Amino acid sequence: MKILVTGGTGYIGSHTAVVLLQAGHEVVLLDNLCNSSPVVADRITEIAGRPVTLIEGDITDSDTLDQLFRQHSIDSVVHFAGFKAVGESTQYPLPYFGNNVAGTITLLTAMTKANVKKIVFSSSATVYGNTAPVPYVESFGRGQTNNTYGLTKSMIEQILEALSSSDPEWSIISLRYFNPVGAHESGRLGEDPAGIPNNLMPFIAQVAVGRRKQLSIFGGDYPTPDGTCRRDYIHVMDLAEGHLAALNILKPGIDAINLGTGRPLSVLEMVRAFEDVTGVKVPSQIVSRREGDLPEFWADAEKASRVMSWKAKRSLNDMMEDTWRWQLNNPDGYKITE
């Protein structure tokens, strides 16, 4: 197949592109490069041993999308493009609605005009809301989210459901996942956020490599065993393989599937695991809670195993080793001379 990957030079998109290429698919990346680098496309090609096409453009730009679908015979879309910082989304909701929700509508409109009706959507566990019991199971449905980021993901899922109901030719899977970490084992692809990281692992790695003074842990008084938030951390390559598995089972209709390990780990447990694996001490300080964070959540991934024959297989040590290899090889991220 020829697959369009929106947000394709981003963290998850780039790793998924490698997996898709290695599986024999052709891949077109669409990215506005607001939080990524064109260098990523070169590295995807390097790792996969096959060329990838990069188009610089935005999912909110209908002209760019229409031209892309005219020039490329796209079979399916994997849709990652979107703003994703929970705290920022609460402070600045309008850009999140404009980019994530309106951008997805623009993408779906362009797909409809091009008669491309297969999509795997990068959703989130946040759609389960702030009162769902753990572990999260797909049958729970969506709940009341407590941050704008989660609300945009929930709204997009509802839009996709309405689209599926209106036109049974659409094949749609929403993958609800948790906290991706790690990097490609080559050390050539990894997470390189702009500015101060919003996610735990790049923050830990940047402190360890000397880019930042200390790790800020948002809240130490949650109702969890050690007082810090607990999450379902999943290796980004397991996640990438989950998108390939979803593409392989796409069929008319719509479904939602969790991708996770089913095992929650706290912030402090992640810090200790990194220190144990790397031998590097990570100075940290507990600061005030971050608005929009839940105490804990993790996945029940039984459906992914049953429906897609997919399971997370990489270990916590793999996550730490691959993160550290990436950061050591790229201390300033992609901001280097190739």
pLDDT per position as a tens digit, 46-71: 999 999 999 999 999 999 999 999 99
And the tokens for 193? Answer: 């956020």
And the tokens for 247? Answer: 């593409």
Residue 318 is predicted with a pLDDT of 98
Three-state DSSP class for residue 183 = coil
> Containing H/E element for 105?
helix 103-114
Residue ranges of the chain whose pLDDT lies below 70: 336-338
Residue 336 is predicted with a pLDDT of 54
The letter for the amino acid at 52 is V
Distance between CA atoms of residues 209 and 206, nearest Å: 5
CB 105 within 8 A of CB 65: no
And the tokens for 239? Answer: 């996640």
Three-state DSSP class for residue 31 = strand
The letter for the amino acid at 118 is K
Q: Which ranges in 115-235 belong to alpha helices (H)?
A: 148-166, 200-208
Residue 85 is predicted with a pLDDT of 87
CB 196 within 8 A of CB 40: no
CB 149 within 8 A of CB 126: yes
Pairing assessment for the beta strands 118-124 and 171-177 based on DSSP bridges:
parallel
The CATH code that applies to domain 2-183+235-262+299-314 is 3.40.50.720
Known catalytic residue at 149: yes
Q: pTM (2 decimals)? A: 0.96
Residue 208 is predicted with a pLDDT of 96
Q: Which residues contact 160 (CB under 8 A, 6 or more apart)?
A: 108, 119, 121, 172, 174, 254
The three-point CA angle 184-274-132 to 5° equals 85
Q: What is the 3-state secondary structure (H, E, C) of 231-293?
A: ECEEEHHHHHHHHHHHHHHCCCEEEEEEECCCCCEEHHHHHHHHHHHHCCCCCEEEECCCCCC
The residue annotated as part of the active site, out of 149, 177, 233, 334, is 149
Residue 143 is predicted with a pLDDT of 95
Q: At what angle do helices 316-329 and 200-208 cross, to 10 degrees?
A: 50
Q: How many residues would you count in the chain?
A: 338
